[in-house]
Structure 1
């Protein structure tokens, strides 16, 4: 009898393990990210209500000085408000309770302000609501009335962003006014700001990209924004008018592009975050996300080699992207190398459910894993290429139902080795040596095999050309393009290089793709190097 019980227990255990294996490993189309990557973010559990906020500072030189309050009472937001101060650190703490746990004597935070003076001066408040002072100029208005967690007044989450230009793209969130926390920081460029969310987490409705009524679809490709925590410092600005703040100038350029070109979609093709000047990567990433949300423009993003050199890993950043409005970026399958291997389908006009255009995004990683044999940068791995081939083949069967010619485009950060082949037809500027991987995993061949017409990269800031790859019979097979660097936080030397971005216009009716560039200064109203790269679904040599 005992043996039978043991055997039954073992069988049950194997069955549970098998079910777990099937659910977790076999369904790998989309990556499920570990909970640990969210530890830097505020908790957004439904029903949690903030009942108090304070800040605790301590000395790094005194081992007895602690910057953590009783964890049974307080939750610490894991962002040092001093960022890189050698001597001190400080952390914001919040008390929170579930709505059903609130007692008669509990107070709920319904408003937060920052300042030296009591906000109650000259303000009419209800008897049960008064402003209470906390360290660092924090003022809380708390109410003893019962407030539901979905109330528009109730504060349910708190976060910290840095710098005078910090922006908040998350629905339901707002920056606390009128200014930064009143703490002695290591520099004004990293001044800490509180951001709060009221009510329940907003439900994010993801947009569905679709060809316009005129049959066209416009894509703005922005590469190498190199955004910082704080305004950042300009590198090689052109024109150089003296004082230059990198991020405000970069975002002003992007805003003009959005207003003038009115793209249907934006591709962020890597190095959105300038890792070594972004001690809080979330703040840097949020700047471009807020601008795109403000313009109600759907976008996708891939990572460059600098994005995860700051405070956030790629896994943490993709988690942020996935939570933001208008973002269609996803982690991609967890069974292959990299984070951010995915595609976006652009549907035909109207209520048509067929895809007219597929946009492919692949993670080109960062630095070579084998410096001894292949110095420089990493390359696309075999499992990524297999995934791409398998998915592209699968989608072809679905795209056969589309009445017109279906088109495909691909976007990378680090260029392919074939970008550097001399003798190809080139349209645009080749001002610096390409920094492609030294090892060639032949992803270009996979692109051609699957009928991808164009691939476009970033990484080399002052290269903005398109190079035409041809077959052995000298027939056009693939255009390999650069976006050009758009951000003033990254290098831009080489004989007065003006920041720029690439525009793609797809005409689904004609199965045509046209591309051109826009510059930040000088000939801002002119389309630079406009060329037809695909016509009738075929790669063409290009003409204006």
Structure 2
């Protein structure tokens, strides 16, 4: 009898362990799949107010522990506060919401959230029915029992979580709690921060780019920032220490960019892919907000496309673009739904003064990530036929309007992965070619489409240590047709180990008075004041071969 009981208990324990292992590995594998994470997208106001906030903590090894609450009452913010990096623990923020018009006199509305070990009520005067209420992980909630019109303006209408000691909030109307939630985390788990919106939506600022009154316009290309969730770790840094201390990738990258924004004062920033370093950015939003916050602070409009790492093991391209589209100063858009990729679009830069005519058109296309046909075309993906068709149709459709501009209109393009023509060693180029060109092996013909439509320059990223501009010419007449440039890797979270490679940023200085484009690079270390490899690539609206500096 005793043996039977022992055998039964052993079998039950084995079954429980087997079930746990299945759940555990399925759960981990699901999280490791690209684009499998469904992040919480805070709801727009639409009359909803938050009536309560709480945090659940649970154990991964205890089958009877749960982080779930009644879904009819609570909405869970689908971000594990441990970012799935803890083997034993999970925690989630839960929010109760109600339509404003359905509130009763007995309802309470959240009007404040804070984080700390001490009761905020001890240091602030308040009504007896508006005391701070304690929740787990050091969260304190202030709720008003008088949902009047004045309370509605300060009512919390959305709650989110951002991660990292360097976390910043980029959305208008939102406020980040600098004190992280009090969780038992190790050094490899970025701290979790509550961020809230009070009141209704704030329409983001979307400035229209315009040529300056002096006829000039400057574009800064930020290629391969490779930002993380948290401060990140430097790869192949030159030098390997930063201001006498350890090299923290994101801090050093953003300090470099901030310095150039102050000195160069660009009119437009193009983020040409791999802004997010997928492997080290389990919360893509926290990484995106870092560069966005910097550009918003400088009041510079920006456009972005994706690289092969942005959505790697993190939020999908579509999910990221939905966030980016709503940020101040962002002119990025998802583009047409019926063609391949996310982020196929163009923006117009208007002529100076109050003119409504376009002086510059900037095309941006999604060059995707990895080959869909590794057996035949190993390596990287290519720009698809329906994208090229869209580009041709769009460019043709804009030509009539562009002719109304009284000067010479110019077209530019940006992609992430280089075109196959970047490999042509016999072509003239200016700058350093340090590594193999990892362009797609299948040539879909986008270079020819660019030339056909009169685009004078295309610039990419992807190969961090390549930072040349190459002249593509007609194979029969040898007439210059297109400049193909690299931005050069700017971020310390990505590789740079080719001959003591120094991070850099490419700029395009455009003079519409002469229809001239001058390009150069700025360095993070060494000759930090110099204009490296400065050259005129377009003059009088025409692509020209390399020539002496002016």
**Which residue is 1:428 aligned to?**
431
- 8 Å CA contact 2:368, 2:382 repeated in 1: yes
- 8 Å CA contact 2:111, 2:151 repeated in 1: no
SS in 2 for 1:271: coil
**Which residue is 1:535 aligned to?**
539
The 3 A distance-change label for structure 1 pair 441 and 496 is same
Structure 1 regions of 5+ residues with no counterpart?
Answer: 1-35
The 3 A distance-change label for structure 1 pair 39 and 191 is closer
Q: For residues 343 and 448 of structure 2, what CA distance do their matches in structure 1 show?
A: 21
- 8 Å CA contact 1:108, 1:147 repeated in 2: no
How far 1:345 moved relative to its partner? 0.3
**1:59-458 matched pairs, under 5 angstroms:** 59-83=59-83, 84-148=85-149, 151-177=152-178, 179-187=179-187, 189-241=189-241, 243-458=246-461
**Which residue is 2:527 aligned to?**
523
Q: Is 2:492 aligned against 1:488?
A: yes
How far 1:37 moved relative to its partner? 9.6
Q: For residues 401 and 149 of structure 1, what CA distance do their matches in structure 2 show?
A: 52
Q: For residues 479 and 148 of structure 1, what CA distance do their matches in structure 2 show?
A: 59
The 3 A distance-change label for structure 1 pair 282 and 149 is farther
- 8 Å CA contact 1:82, 1:186 repeated in 2: no
1:393-452 CA-to-partner distances (Å, cap 9, x unmatched) read: 111111111111100100000000000101111100100010000001111000000000
1:256-289 CA-to-partner distances (Å, cap 9, x unmatched) read: 1111100000000000000011111111111111
* 460-469 vs 185-194, which moves further: 185-194
1:490-518 CA-to-partner distances (Å, cap 9, x unmatched) read: 00111111100100111111111111000
**Which residue is 1:479 aligned to?**
483
- 8 Å CA contact 2:271, 2:303 repeated in 1: yes
1:67-94 CA-to-partner distances (Å, cap 9, x unmatched) read: 1111111111000001121111111001
How far 1:187 moved relative to its partner? 3.2
Q: For residues 425 and 203 of structure 2, what CA distance do their matches in structure 1 show?
A: 50
Q: For residues 203 and 523 of structure 1, what CA distance do their matches in structure 2 show?
A: 42
Q: For residues 342 and 203 of structure 1, what CA distance do their matches in structure 2 show?
A: 22
How far 1:148 moved relative to its partner? 4.2
Q: For residues 148 and 273 of structure 1, what CA distance do their matches in structure 2 show?
A: 41
The 3 A distance-change label for structure 1 pair 213 and 52 is same
- 8 Å CA contact 1:274, 1:310 repeated in 2: no
Task: Give the TM-score normalised by the residue count of structure 1.
Answer: 0.91
SS in 2 for 1:329: coil
CA-based RMSD: 1.5
Q: Which runs of 4+ in 1 moved over 3 A?
A: 36-39, 147-152, 186-189
SS in 2 for 1:418: helix
The 3 A distance-change label for structure 1 pair 293 and 369 is same
* 101-110 vs 481-490, which moves further: 101-110
- 8 Å CA contact 2:38, 2:315 repeated in 1: no
1:340-375 CA-to-partner distances (Å, cap 9, x unmatched) read: 100000000111001000000000000011111111
Q: For residues 235 and 138 of structure 1, what CA distance do their matches in structure 2 show?
A: 36
1:112-159 CA-to-partner distances (Å, cap 9, x unmatched) read: 110101112232224442211111101112211224499442111100
The 3 A distance-change label for structure 1 pair 331 and 301 is same
Q: For residues 151 and 62 of structure 1, what CA distance do their matches in structure 2 show?
A: 41
Q: Is 2:500 aligned against 1:499?
A: no
How far 1:186 moved relative to its partner? 4.0
**Which residue is 2:49 aligned to?**
49
Q: For residues 459 and 250 of structure 1, what CA distance do their matches in structure 2 show?
A: 17
**Which residue is 2:19 aligned to?**
none
How far 1:473 moved relative to its partner? 1.4
**Which residue is 2:40 aligned to?**
40
- 8 Å CA contact 2:45, 2:158 repeated in 1: no
Q: For residues 186 and 344 of structure 1, what CA distance do their matches in structure 2 show?
A: 45
How far 1:315 moved relative to its partner? 0.5
**Which residue is 1:462 aligned to?**
465
- What is the number of equivalent residue pairs in this alignment? 508
How far 1:44 moved relative to its partner? 2.1
- 8 Å CA contact 1:281, 1:310 repeated in 2: no
SS in 2 for 1:183: coil
- 8 Å CA contact 1:416, 1:437 repeated in 2: yes
Q: For residues 151 and 341 of structure 2, what CA distance do their matches in structure 1 show?
A: 37
Task: Give the TM-score normalised by the residue count of structure 2.
Answer: 0.90
Q: For residues 293 and 197 of structure 1, what CA distance do their matches in structure 2 show?
A: 18
Q: For residues 417 and 450 of structure 1, what CA distance do their matches in structure 2 show?
A: 19
The 3 A distance-change label for structure 1 pair 168 and 269 is same
- 8 Å CA contact 2:40, 2:160 repeated in 1: no
